[in-house]
Every structure is written in structure tokens, then in C-alpha cells.
Amino acid sequence: MLLDEINLASPETLQRISSLLDGTRGTLVLTENGELTPIQRHPSFRLFAAMNPATDVGKRDLPPALRTRLTEMYVDELTDEKDLEIVTKRYLNGIERPPVR
């Protein structure tokens, strides 16, 4: 699962995500629909989350309880033209181009 801009999620949503990541057998309870039985996380479940730094307008840091359950990687903005070309070529690899008219 990919959660983009995870730091914009509501505190309630972040709490649910946190419980899903608890230990080796995280669970989720969908109380909104009246469920009381926890749903067990699949053993192959993987979570990827992306966010912009909290320095951007309207952004905030993740709660420490959730942040400690994640592995952080900082990726600086791509500004070098050659780096952008590499990323673009790999992303578009295999996509057919429309005919030029």
C-alpha cells in the first residue's frame, strides 16, 4: 500500500495505521461499520508512505509513535537535468509513444 502525503492524514487515520504496524501481527478494526473483530494484517503486507517535509505550508510531522515504526529515507529534489532525464527514461520505459502527425 502506498500512502502519499501521509502527514496530511487525520490523527485518527494515523492511529489506525499505527495499530496496523504493531509488532508482527498488527490488526485493524473497522468500527465505522459496526465491526468489533480485528482484521489481521497479511504476512506479505507492505506499507510505503511518502510525504513532503513539515517545513512546507500546511504540512506537519508524523507523530513519534508512528514515525518510529517506519524507515525514513530523505530524497532531495531533483534539479540536475541529467538526473531528471534518467528518472524520466526509466519511468517511461516500455510506454508506447503516440504517432507523430
Q: What is the pLDDT of residues 52-71, one digit of tens each?
A: 888 877 778 899 989 998 99
Cα–Cα dist 19/44, whole Å:
16
Amino acid identity, residue 45?
F
| Number of Cβ atoms within 10 Å of the Cβ of 17 | 21
Sign for the pseudo-dihedral over CA of 60, 61, 63, 66: positive
**Entry pTM:** 0.66
pLDDT band for position 35 (50/70/90)? confident
Q: Which residues of 87-101 are buried (b: 16+ CB within 10 A; e: fewer)?
A: eeeeeeeeeeeeeee
pLDDT band for position 14 (50/70/90)? very high
Instruction: Give residue for cell 510531522.
Output: 61
